[in-house]
Amino acid sequence: MMKQDIAMGLVRVTEAAALCSAKYMGRGDKIAADQAAVDGMEKAFSMLPVRGTVVIGEGELDNAPMLYIGQKLGIGQDDMVEMDIAVDPLDGTALIAKGLPNAIAVVAMGPKGSLLHAPDMYMKKIAVGAGAKGAININKSNKDNIINVAMALNKDVSEVTVIVQERERHEDIIKDAREVGARVKLFSEGDIAAVLACGFEDTGIDIMIGTGGAPEGVIAAAAIKCMGGDMQAKLVHQNEEEIERCKTMGIKDINKVLYINDLVKSDDVYFAATGITDCDLLKGVVYSKNNWGTTHSVVMRSKTGTIRFINAHHQLLKSNLVV
């Protein structure tokens, strides 16, 4: 299979998840919305000519019925290169249930062993686009990082926008950003979409700082690597059980700084995302008459640096899956 066909195949996977899940926007049922996204994504993967294994999915070590860690995806012929696959069919389950922005369907893929097997725990993250690559240091203060990013982008600090999840644990980040004079954009959920927005100048977002899910951090790192940006992270364990979980997943030093090449080891990874509800970067799914749906997606490959935005119109089947 040609490499560009792999990229287009992956975006069909996220489109399927988005089209199935978006029907539940604002209906107050995040479980049904998530299940619809999982169903759509798994069926689309069953038709994709790749040989993949889920390393980040809906559940750890077979603890989910579909898209679980260890599940084989794709047609899977023996002559195909084995791939790691990280999926989040619906990042932002509460968002879709409430009809709020920033819900997306995402998938990342790279050669076997290329994606960090991140356990389901917290991860401290800092991310920027290509213009500020090399300007961040997760061990420095929030203020130092914001000032250094401003210098790298040749901006006044008052022109820098920091995106932060609105949580009590992030009050110090918000306080530091305001004290240094930066602009602050808060979001409720969906930190993959927030990190993704850092990679594009026209979103107006320059840096993401915060603590969120570790699996989402690895998926976001794949996007940042494709865009030539930079990301650093640290796992945040809260108890002995999480320490043991890290060891089970093959992570020996849980206190080390994880650089972009630790999170995503290969220089040839793919990332695809489709908006479910409107985001800073992507428009959400729109349904129109006569069973048509419109999606807005981005698909990238780190080796070539190619980034494609795809507006697609789909004729829908009764099953909610694309033709």
- What are φ and ψ of residue 219, in 5° steps? -65, -45
The CB-side HSE value for 60 (13 A sphere, CA atoms) comes to 12
Q: What is the spatial distance between Cα 296 and Cα 182, in angstroms, rounded to a whole number?
A: 30
Binding-site residues for Mn(2+), in ranges, read 34, 58, 88, 91, 216
User: Three-state SS string across 273-300, please?
Assistant: EEECCCCCCCCCCEEECCCEEEEEEEEE
Element (H, E) at 9: helix 3-21
- 295 contacts 312 by C-beta, under 8 angstroms: yes
* Residue list for the binding site: 34, 58, 88, 91, 216
Long-range contacts of 250-256 (CB under 8 A, 24+ apart): 250/117, 251/116, 251/117, 251/118, 251/119
Q: Going along 23-97, which residue ranges are E strands?
A: 51-56, 72-73, 82-91
Q: Please name the helix (run of DSSP H) or strand (run of DSSP E) that holds residue 230, with its range, or none.
A: strand 230-236
Distant-in-sequence, close-in-space partners of 190: CB < 8 Å, separation ≥ 6: 91, 92, 95, 102, 103, 104, 279
> What's the rounded Cα separation, in Å, for the pair 60 and 241?
14
Reduce the DSSP state of residue 32 to 3 states and report it: helix
